[in-house]
């Protein structure tokens, strides 16, 4: 069986020519790496999102475009001259300007996706040239030929069967002696229109391509050396985790650990592909392997935090001993493709949490006025913001005596707004005020993880 590794590099890893050089070292050091997936250079996607909103005046628009051009030009200047590459990058920048000006007249989700996707198109072209100038046989590939999605612009869903078929036809025959460089975050629908997978979707893209090509491993290279027991910026005693299970890592990604996109592990789980997370700046520092099973399964593994959460409480006397109320609520949410994180119920009300950070590529908020209006026809709606979701991640947590008392004794000085426990043996989640979040994470880590 052929050993194939798919390597993905995030925005900070391809921020400039020096950072790209470190990524090239990593790729060339592993002969099994035959597919490289890139994010846009750091800061580029945010610039493109702003342009796609179409709200800038002439001066601000010019400043954004100049900043965008500067990022690409500095990388071009660090490479040996290549008129063809330079022409391709300039053409992309001209296309960006044209779309940005169009967005000021009228913008929509389809135009936003076409514009926002340009960041990955440029970074992948530049990186391909860097590999070629290092003497490698590298080929740029437009991922829109490979990754087929539906037409939900901003957060498209992937057609797995079509994607696998396209990958096997288009690029599998080239993997023997060529490094293929492509883009994360981007796909296309059946009409060839550009779509995006939602912010942070490059990790997911790499996993999807790995699944479609029957990869032996997937590497996610970022700016931190692996997954930590919690965010080291919040807790100085946070430590790296050498090995973690798919189930634990999925909980961490879902509940706020920013090292992985929440959807990343689904393709890896389906094909049982090990995933490595490491730092492109410090590859020798090691990292975290994510596998189906691990040698140790501690009761408490990590603490995750997700800020900017919204608590929606729906109150209706009609709930009392009635059938179908929750079905109607979730029917409304399903029509707007809104997923719920936590949920608790009483006889006449239900509370649920939503991630309000704007999961679509264009930054649009999840809870729109239209959703609130539909829910308001059904019941009284109360929306609370300024909250943070804290998740304690571990193993067998709902099966071991005393877990609740341990956790809540640790947090006795803090107000807990909502609790969810028992649905999974791998997490205990609760909602707290934003202002208390850092202290809560520190207290939990110190009291339960050491």
- Tell whether 17 and 154 lie within a shared domain: yes
Q: Is residue 145 annotated as involved in ligand binding?
A: no
Give the separation between CA 434 and CA 420, rounded to whole angstroms: 18
Rounded to whole angstroms, how far apart are CA atoms 330 and 339? 9
pLDDT over 50 (residue 441): yes
Q: What is the pLDDT of residues 261-291, one digit of tens each?
A: 878 899 999 999 999 999 999 999 999 999 9
Domain of residue 359, CATH code = 3.30.2130.10
Q: Sorting pLDDT into bands at 50, 70 and 90, what band is 257? A: confident
Q: How confident is the model at residue 331 (pLDDT cuts 50, 70, 90)?
A: very high
Clarify whether residues 199 and 347 are in a common domain: no
Q: Is residue 232 part of a domain?
A: no
How many residues appear in the chain?
450
Statement to judge: residues 319 and 201 lie in one domain: no
pLDDT, tens digit, 9 for 90 and up, residues 192-238: 999 999 877 899 999 999 999 999 999 999 988 999 999 999 999 99
Domain count, the chain: 2
Residue 228 assigned to a binding site? yes
* The dihedral formed by the CA atoms of 251, 256, 260 and 264, expressed in degrees to the nearest 10: 50
To the question of whether residue 155 is assigned a binding role by annotation, the answer is: no
- The Cα-based distances of 70 to 65, 66, 94, 256 in angstroms read 9, 6, 14, 32
178 is in an annotated binding site: no
Cα atoms in the 13 Å half-sphere on the side-chain side of 23: 34
Asked if residue 306 and residue 212 are part of one domain, the reply reads no
Bridge partners, 419 (sequence order): 430
328 is in an annotated binding site: no
Q: What percent of the chain has a predicted confidence (pLDDT) above 70?
A: 97
In a domain, 103, yes or no: yes
Residues 95 and 210 grouped into a single domain: yes
Among residues 195, 222, 249, the one where a domain terminates is 222
Q: Taking each helix axis as running N to C, give the angle between helix 58-78 and helix 83-105, from 0 to 180 degrees, rounded to the nearest 10.
A: 160
What's the average model confidence in pLDDT over 114-130? 98
Q: Is the pLDDT of residue 355 over 80?
A: no
> Per-residue pLDDT for 326 more than 90?
no
Write down which residue in 222, 247, 263 finishes a domain.
222
Average pLDDT, the chain: 93
Residues 78 and 172 occupy one common structural domain: yes
Question: Nearest 10 degrees: CA dihedral of 25, 31, 35, 39?
Answer: -20
Q: Which two tokens stand for residue 369?
A: 């006025």
What is the DSSP code (8-state) at residue 447?
I
The reply to whether 9 sits in an annotated binding site is yes
Q: Is 90 annotated as a binding residue?
A: no
Query: Lowest-pLDDT range, 69-73, 294-298, 367-371, 380-384?
Result: 367-371
Q: Using CA atoms, how far apart are residues 45 and 11, in angstroms rounded to an integer?
A: 9
Q: Convert the pLDDT of each residue in 359-403 to its tens digit.
A: 455 555 567 889 999 999 989 999 999 999 999 999 999 889 989
Summarize the confidence of residues 171-187 as an average pLDDT: 96
pLDDT for 179 beyond 90? yes
Residues 97 and 218 in one domain: yes
Classify residue 164: in a domain, yes or no.
Answer: yes
Q: Specify the pTM.
A: 0.87
Residue 347 inside a domain? The answer is yes
| 156 token code pair | 């498209």
Q: Find the Cα–Cα–Cα–Cα dihedral 245, 248, 251, 253, rounded to 10°.
A: -60
- Neighbouring residues of 18: CB distance < 8 A, sequence distance ≥ 6: 78
Instruction: State mean pLDDT over 19-23.
Output: 98
SS3 of residue 232 by DSSP: coil
HSE value, Cβ hemisphere, 13 Å, CA-based, for 29: 10
Residue 292 lies in a domain: no
Secondary structure of residue 13 in the 3-state scheme: helix
Could you tell me if 212 and 316 lie in one domain? no
Range of the domain at 324: 301-449
Q: Is the pLDDT of residue 84 over 90?
A: yes
Q: Within a domain: residue 69? A: yes
- Is the domain of 12 the same as that of 109? yes
Among 170, 191, 222, the domain-final residue is 222
C-alpha distances in Å from residue 222, one per residue of 74, 94, 137, 186: 21, 30, 24, 19
Of 372, 198, 399, 371, the C-alpha closest to 428 is: 399
Query: Within this chain, do residues 308 and 217 fall inside the same structural domain, yes or no?
Result: no
Q: Is residue 333 part of a domain?
A: yes
Distance CA 16, CA 12 (A): 8
Q: How far apart are CA 413 and CA 418, in angstroms?
A: 15
- Residue 226 annotated as part of some ligand binding site: no
Q: What is the pLDDT, as a whole number, of residue 357?
A: 46
Q: Which of 313, 382, 314, 387 is nearest to 357 (CA)?
A: 387
What pLDDT does 356 receive? 56
Q: CATH number for the domain including 196?
A: 3.40.1160.10
Q: What SS3 class is residue 444?
A: helix
Tokens coding 435: 């202002």
SS3 412: coil
Helix (H, G, I), strand (E, B) or coil at 434: helix
Is position 254 within any domain? no
């Amino acid at each position: 069986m052929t050993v194939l590794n798919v390597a993905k590099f995030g925005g900070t890893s391809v921020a400039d020519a020096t950072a790209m050089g470190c990524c090239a070292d990593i790729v060339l050091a592993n002969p099994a790496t035959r597919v490289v997936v890139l994010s846009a250079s750091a800061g580029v996607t945010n610039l493109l999102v702003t342009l796609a909103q179409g709200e800038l005046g002439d001066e601000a628009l010019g400043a954004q475009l100049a900043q965008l051009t500067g990022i690409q030009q500095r990388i071009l200047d660090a490479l040996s001259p290549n008129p063809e590459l330079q022409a391709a990058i300039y053409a992309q920048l001209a296309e960006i300007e044209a779309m940005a000006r169009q967005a000021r007249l009228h913008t929509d989700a389809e135009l936003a996706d076409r514009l926002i996707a340009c960041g990955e198109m440029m970074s992948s072209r530049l990186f391909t040239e860097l590999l070629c100038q290092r003497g490698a046989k590298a080929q740029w590939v437009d991922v829109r030929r490979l990754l087929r999605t539906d037409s939900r612009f901003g957060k498209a869903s992937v057609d797995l069967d079509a994607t696998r078929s396209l990958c096997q036809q288009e690029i599998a025959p080239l993997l023997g002696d060529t490094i293929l460089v492509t883009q994360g975050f981007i796909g296309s629908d059946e009409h060839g229109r550009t779509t995006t997978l939602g912010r942070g979707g490059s990790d997911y893209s790499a996993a999807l391509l790995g699944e479609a090509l029957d990869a032996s491993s997937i590497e996610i290279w970022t700016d931190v050396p692996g997954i930590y027991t919690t965010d080291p910026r919040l807790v100085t005693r946070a430590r790296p985790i050498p090995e973690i299970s798919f189930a634990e890592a999925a909980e961490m990604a879902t509940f706020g650990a920013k090292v992985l996109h929440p959807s990343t592990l689904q393709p890896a789980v389906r094909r049982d592909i090990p995933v490595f997370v490491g730092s492109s700046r410090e590859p020798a520092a090691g990292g975290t392997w994510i596998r189906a099973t691990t040698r140790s399964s501690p009761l408490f593994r990590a603490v995750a935090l997700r800020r900017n959460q919204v608590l929606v409480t729906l109150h209706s006397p009609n709930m009392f001993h009635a059938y179908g109320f929750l079905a109607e609520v979730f029917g409304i949410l399903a029509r707007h493709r809104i997923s719920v994180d936590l949920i608790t119920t009483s006889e006449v009300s239900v509370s649920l949490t939503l991630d309000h950070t704007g999961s679509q590529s264009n930054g649009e908020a999840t809870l729109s006025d239209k959703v609130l209006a539909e829910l308001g026809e059904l019941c009284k709606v109360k929306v609370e913001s300024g909250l943070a979701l804290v998740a304690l991640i571990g193993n067998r947590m709902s099966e071991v005596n005393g877990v609740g008392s341990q956790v809540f004794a640790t947090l006795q000085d803090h107000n807990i707004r909502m609790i969810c426990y028992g649905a999974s043996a791998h997490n205990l989640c609760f909602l707290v005020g934003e202002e208390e979040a850092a202290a809560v994470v520190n207290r939990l880590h110190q009291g339960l993880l050491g």
